[in-house]
Amino acid sequence: MAAKQYENLVTLACVSFNSVWGDKAANLEKMAGLVEEAASVGNNIIILPELALSGYQCSDEFDRGCSMHRKLAETIPGPATDRIAELAAKWGVYVIFGMPERDQENPDLLYIAAPVIGPEGLLGVYRKMHLHIAPFTESRCFHPGHSLPVFETRFGLIGVQICYDFWLFPEASRVLMLKGADIIANPTASASAPGKEEFITHVTRTRGVENMCVAATANLTGKDRTALFCGHSIIAGGGWKLSQVYAEGGPEEGIVSATVNLQLLRAQRAKRPMNAGVCRLDVISKELKQLIE
């Protein structure tokens, strides 16, 4: 059977987004405007940050279950994904964005989620697997996801990681690459801190080059409830150079965009050890099994 043919050139947009904390309607309207703006100038895949729909920080009573995220969480599909799906169909684009998801079967379960939406509708959802520990409040408000799906688009397969997943657990990105992902999207909420801009740049470049894929980080920016986020959304990966930044933003809200030749990346990845029988997956899987046991 012949390998499936995908389009080779893709234009990606990562949006540095300043959420209005706790105001879902305002955020959805602003997200819709940015999706239309990015699509109107030729972007094919548009990525918005972690929990862009609601704001990132939990409310003060997080130890009893964050009332803000619990109030604003939606099932997937739901009103927010339906609204973005209308725009994806209108413009023929793919959109990935962060939101609090309510489990359809158990409404007490909330997830930090990233639905993946295409021109044909909802393709699926990724739920953040690695929840940040104290002093962050994620693990007290949300439940972790349990899978690493890839999503098929006309440009190839896309994998999603969310923030902590992407920054500190490179094994998950490697699994997505081994499952065929050409693009790894990282909707993130990365707060301002000394050296944070360099950290975002270096790790995004590293995830791209170690997997010979496109790594695309979309970060919150500006003030949330009390925290400040630093923006600096970035698109990076392999290419004509071993590692390169295709586009990178600053601290301001806005769209970072780049066109990437995926055919070049696929050809280079085919020559890499992980696809040439050199990577010792037999040993790695054995060692991981022993650690788990």
E-strand ranges in the chain read 9-16, 45-47, 94-96, 99-102, 110-118, 121-127, 150-153, 156-160, 181-188, 214-219, 221-223, 228-230, 234-237, 244-248, 254-261
230 is catalytic: no
Q: Report the amino acid identity of residue 29.
A: E
- Tell me which of 14, 58, 141, 163 is the catalytic residue: 163
DSSP 76: S
DSSP of 139-151, one letter per residue?
Answer: HHH--------EE
Distances (CA, A) of 239 to 172, 212, 252, 260: 22, 8, 27, 8
DSSP of 17-34, one letter per residue?
Answer: B---TT-HHHHHHHHHHH
Q: Residue 66 has which token pair?
A: 């964050």
51: nearest Cα among 111, 105, 123:
111
128 is catalytic: yes
Contact 150, 159 (CB under 8 A): yes
DSSP 3-state assignment of 115? strand
- Tell me which of 14, 24, 30, 50 is the catalytic residue: 50
**In degrees to the nearest 10, what's the CA dihedral of 32, 34, 39, 43?**
-130
Euclidean distance between CA atoms 184 and 244, whole angstroms: 15
Contact 15, 49 (CB under 8 A): yes
- Tell me which of 58, 101, 128, 230 is the catalytic residue: 128
The residues annotated as belonging to the active site are 50, 128, 163
